[in-house]
Amino acid sequence: MNLGIIGYRNHSQKIIDLVEKNKNIKNINVFSYKKKPNIKNISQSSKVKIVFYLNELNNSDAIIIASPSKTHKKYLNYFIKKNKYIFCEKPACNSKKDYIFLKNLNSKNKQKIHINYNLLFSRYYKIINSIIKNKKKYGKIIYLDIKLTNGISFKKKMQNNWRFKSKNIFEQIAGNLGVHYVNLFISLFGNIFKKNIYKLSNNKKNDSSLLVLKSKSNKLASFYFSYSSPLTDEINIYLTNAVIKINDNKAILIYPRDTFDKKGYFINPRHSTLHNFSQSKEYDESTKNSLNFFIKKVKSKSAFSLTQYNNALKTLKFFL
């Protein structure tokens, strides 16, 4: 399979490294709009070639769009007309005008587009989904609490980064990171009934936001995202019969029963480990899974799910 990739920096470099290792990929043409790109970190594999004209990707079996979100509509429109399979990085666009373009595509075109919300291919999704299906053991999910922070605002090289300049919500922390978890929430619990987005700091260098959601199925969730708080990656799932905590490289089940001793005093509840995994690698692992899923679909010439596409649009609409 021949693959075309739009974008060669940052996240695109990870994608190039991941697809280069896939046995189904024969050649990778990476498009650069700059005639003198900084390619020192790009894979030096014989599979990978830098090209400078978009039409040099026309012979590709599939296209990966990993350029900035504001450019996605232009590339989507170009390659839809070429009848290509397209892997498009989230959020697929960052304006109402481009959202309408995506919404108005016909079903045939939509089923050739895979919008990469890679948390749907993560162990987080598998764990939460298995909990939902196992109501007899864990009870019903009452509340989902997620905290994701990284402290990058304190790095000197980040002082002039686009993350702290843009007024577009998809380039701020609520939309840039939060978009993944809003999509996860919609995919698990259905349409959102109520929402609130709280900007917790007026200082752009300390970008912190809180998202509170309620689904039509009465599921409640809060998501805290921050560039200024120290590194945190934590998911707490509160159920009628248990609590599940995902942090410290583990998913831990905490039982609520038998938490009193013979005198009636509180004691620590029983707990057990559901899964052991490295959270630091979870994002890369789920990206690889999403890419492999895309390549497998292209190879078999299968259609992508309209439900997944429509959930991606609902995620866009949430922020727009």
Question: pLDDT tens digit string along 226-238?
Answer: 888 888 889 999 9
Report the C-alpha gap between 40 and 317 in whole angstroms: 38
pLDDT at 177 over 90: no
Angle between helices 178-189 and 123-133 (to 10 degrees): 30
3-state SS, residue 225: strand
Q: Which domains does the chain have, with CATH numbers?
A: 2-116+287-304 (3.40.50.720), 121-277 (3.30.360.10)
- The percentage of residues in the chain with a pLDDT greater than 90, rounded to a whole number, is 53
User: Any idea which residue has 């002039």 for tokens?
Assistant: 160
pLDDT for the residue numbered 248: 66
Residue 16 CB partners (closer than 8 Å, separation 6+) = 5, 8, 28, 30, 42, 43, 48
Residue 210 pLDDT grade (very low, low, confident, very high; cuts 50, 70, 90): very high
pLDDT at 204 over 80: no
- The percentage of residues in the chain with a pLDDT greater than 70, rounded to a whole number, is 92
Lowest-confidence region among 31-35, 41-45, 88-92, 162-166: 41-45
Lowest-confidence region among 8-12, 74-78, 233-237, 306-310: 8-12
Instruction: Assign 3-state DSSP to the chain and report helix, strand, coil percentages, each to 5.
Output: 40, 25, 35
Report the C-alpha gap between 195 and 214 in whole angstroms: 6
Between 104 and 280, the more confident residue is 104
Angle between helices 306-319 and 96-103 (to 10 degrees): 160
Task: Please give the structure tokens belonging to residue 205.
Answer: 């260098």
Question: pLDDT tens digit string along 28-84?
Answer: 999 988 776 666 666 667 788 989 999 999 999 999 999 989 999 999 999 999 999
pLDDT for the residue numbered 259: 77
Residue 20 CB partners (closer than 8 Å, separation 6+) = 28, 43, 45, 47, 48
Residue 30 CB partners (closer than 8 Å, separation 6+) = 4, 5, 7, 8, 12, 16, 42, 48, 49, 50, 51
Average pLDDT, stretch 249-267? 83
Rounded to the nearest integer, the mean pLDDT of the chain is: 88
